[in-house]
Structure 1
Amino acid sequence: MTKFEVRAPAPADLEVGLASLLGDCARMVPHWAAPDRALSRPVSPSRIHGVTVPSKSARLLDAMSDYGD
């Protein structure tokens, strides 16, 4: 049996402002290169299989107006 070590996440620095966050994001942009164009094609329903939704989840989503209407 494998023993996993659980560590608490690093404490959040509450003094960091939005400007600092935006600077961090700007420095990371080159690492997050996205393709120029993403092609999305419809999938035939016959190729979708193996997906099961528990009845409680289906009823919950059906009761939500965003999904059920």
Structure 2
Amino acid sequence: MTNLELRAPAPADPEGDLASLRGDCARMAPHWAAPERITALPVSPSLIHGVTVPPGSARLLESMSEYGD
């Protein structure tokens, strides 16, 4: 049987400031693993056939101003 070590969670402070948030993040950082960097491979132009946009989305984009709403 495995002996699991249990730790009490850090107290949550909903009214905390930025310093307490940074402290919480610093305590959690060792538990997160960064994914390996994924590099995209080039795609042959013959495999690119265009983009299909649903009519509702096209109408929405057409009704927006040039710089967004």
TM-score exceeds 0.5? no
TM-score by length of 2: 0.43
Q: Which has the higher contact order (CA 8 A, sep 6+)?
A: 2
Find the structure with the greater CA-based Rg: 2
The alignment's TM-score, normalised by the length of structure 1, stands at 0.43
